[in-house]
Structure 1
Amino acid sequence: MSASSGHPAADGVRSLAEPLAAEAGLVVENVTVTPAGKRRVLRITVDLPETELGGVPMESVAQVSQAISQELDSSNVMGGTPYVLEVSSPGADRPLTERRHWLRARRRLVRTIAAPGATPRTGRLTEVTEAGIVLDEEHEVPWAEITGGRIELEFGHPDDFADLEADEDDEDEDEEEN
């Protein structure tokens, strides 16, 4: 289950936001309500479902932000205290804490956070199973050995190189035709 802050309004906001996020093809990852002077900051983090790879489209974040704002304006979920609404996606440095996070990170370079007595591992995440994860197509790491993980940021991700190679092949064919 995704996290919510201990603030009483967070659960109400989550209930209101989840169907609106689903309409935009997103899931609610986290809801926090933080005091900020005479007002509060309401932060809602949305993400793609586990089956989709890639980043969250900003158009989807804008769509769900507007829908949540309208619903909050017509409800009493946040009470009478003023608040600022922030809707965002988790970003590349998000912790991998749930199975769906690992599913979304397939093909990425990841580092595991090891459970006590286990060894941390780094490798390309090639598979996510009921039993655990597979790194570099050969190293199986059971869930019992993992307390979390992180995506290792790469400059020049292998998928980027595949696109470049395809572009270069197209250019070579064009030159041969002339």
Structure 2
Amino acid sequence: MSRKTDHTDPTSLENFLRPIVEQFGCDLEAADVSPAGKRRLLRVLVDRDGGISLDDVAEVTRAISKALDADDVMGDGAYTLEVSSPGVDRPLTLPRHWRRNVTRLVAVTLAGGHKVTGRIKSATDDTAELDVRGQTRTIAFADVEKAKVQIEFNRPAGTDDNESAADGAVEEN
């Protein structure tokens, strides 16, 4: 009798999914399995510089589904696969998250509880430059406790230069 292995712990699952997602020039942002009635829900979040379109998400979904079927990573039992982009409500935790949100307004809580709100002008591997009421402020990622993009319904003109139409369509799901 053969015994199938369920590799749905987060680390094993991410190690399995990462190379599949990277084939499409994307980053695996998160992978999570949670109960959903009698089934399980495998939620996979992917993104890349320049944004990800619905067609990109569909391609990645097909590749992940095919790989999961072939390797039986999910073990026995039914599951539903959901692949999407992170959306604007995800915290900025890595330098690439900051880079992908240049021109966006962010609320940042720094070590010690000091709060700063500003528009991201640029980002490196260690810092981000924010425009805070007309003044440039450099924020070291090591000093950030929490950072989130602020949703703007009346965004100032000229701040959409780095966004494509597909970005907005995917983010607002």
1:21 maps to 2:16: no
Instruction: Give SS of 2:121's match.
Output: strand
Q: Per-residue displacement from partner, 1:6-35 (whole Å, max 9, x unpaired)?
A: x94133332332222122221111010112
Structure 2 unaligned residues grouped into runs of 5+: 1-5, 162-173
- RMSD of the TM alignment (CA)? 2.2
Alignment check: 8 A CA contact 1:46 1:90 kept: yes
AA partner of residue 43 (structure 2): R
Match of 1:159 in 2: 158
State the number of aligned residues.
Answer: 151
TM-score, normalised by the number of residues in structure 2:
0.77
* Higher Cα Rg, which structure: 1
TM-score, normalised by the number of residues in structure 1:
0.75
Instruction: Give SS of 2:158's match.
Output: helix
Distance across 2 between alignment mates of 1:90 and 1:130: 20
Which one of the candidate residues 114, 121, 127 is aligned to 1:126?
Answer: 121
Instruction: Give SS of 1:138's match.
Output: strand
Distance change >3 Å, CA 26–CA 161, structure 1 → 2: closer
Is the deviation greater in 80-89 or in 31-40? Answer: 31-40
Shift of 1:161: 7.1
Distance change >3 Å, CA 120–CA 62, structure 1 → 2: same
Distance across 2 between alignment mates of 1:152 and 1:88: 20
Shift of 1:131: 4.3
Give identity over the alignment, percent: 38
Distance change >3 Å, CA 143–CA 14, structure 1 → 2: closer
Distance change >3 Å, CA 114–CA 8, structure 1 → 2: farther
Structure possessing the higher relative contact order (Cα contacts under 8 Å, 6 or more residues apart): 2
Structure number with higher helix proportion: 1
Shift of 1:113: 2.2
AA partner of residue 145 (structure 1): D
